[in-house]
Amino acid sequence: MIKSKDDYKFYLQADKEALNIKRKFPRPIIDDIWKFEKILRKLEYYHNCKNKGIFKIYILALKFKFHRLSQKLGFDIPINVFGPGLSIAHRGTIVVNGNAKVGKNCRIHVCTNIGTAYDTKSEVPTLGDNVYIGPGAKIFGSIEIANGVAIGANSVVSKSFLEPNITIAGVPAKKISNKSTVELLFKMD
């Protein structure tokens, strides 16, 4: 979670590296996802660190801009869920519950859902660091995913996987190999 200006700068740099971007500034039309992530981090910074006085008006303006870009890209990603190094592969439907927690260096693909089990608000997933989420993956319930886990395309993950550096896939998901996310992520610590 961003708790200072230094954290904010670190998150921005980590996201840029995770997206494998070498440019200094986003291109006007092409870099919508990078713009989205920059606004996400800015909103997190102002919400967490400057949520009083005149900044509340600025936060409202940021929320409006964030909401418009979210709708354009098809994302429903709330603030303070993802750690540094978020890499959204491309535009398309991504729905994430606001109570879920995802560690650093996560790569997430289109048609992904990270949510609750049934009608509860508290039973949400916690994902570790260096997690790869393939297209169409559904992750839900009060579960934990260990560090370095690759989640295959169209997997349904409804139970915890505490063994690190494995690949899981299927409906319901199960361990299919001992391959970690090393080859799937642009940035890993």
What CATH number did the domain enclosing 122 receive? Answer: 2.160.10.10
Instruction: State whether 44 and 13 are in the same domain.
Output: yes
Quick one: what percent of the chain has pLDDT higher than 90? 79
Contact 114, 125 (CB under 8 A): yes
CA 160, CA 100: separation in Å to the nearest integer? 14
Q: Which region, left, alpha or beta, applies to residue 148 given φ > 0 means left and ψ of -120 to 50 means alpha?
A: left
What is the count of structural domains for the chain? 2
What pTM did the predictor assign?
A: 0.91
Whether residue 102 is contained in a domain is answered as: yes
pLDDT in tens, 140-174: 999 999 999 999 999 999 999 999 999 999 999 99
Q: Given a cut of 80, is residue 90 above it in pLDDT?
A: yes
Structural domain range at position 112: 93-177
Contact 114, 131 (CB under 8 A): no
Instruction: State whether 105 and 148 are in the same domain.
Output: yes
Whether residue 46 is contained in a domain is answered as: yes
Instruction: State whether 107 and 34 are in the same domain.
Output: no
CA 23, CA 38: separation in Å to the nearest integer? 14
Whether residue 184 is contained in a domain is answered as: no
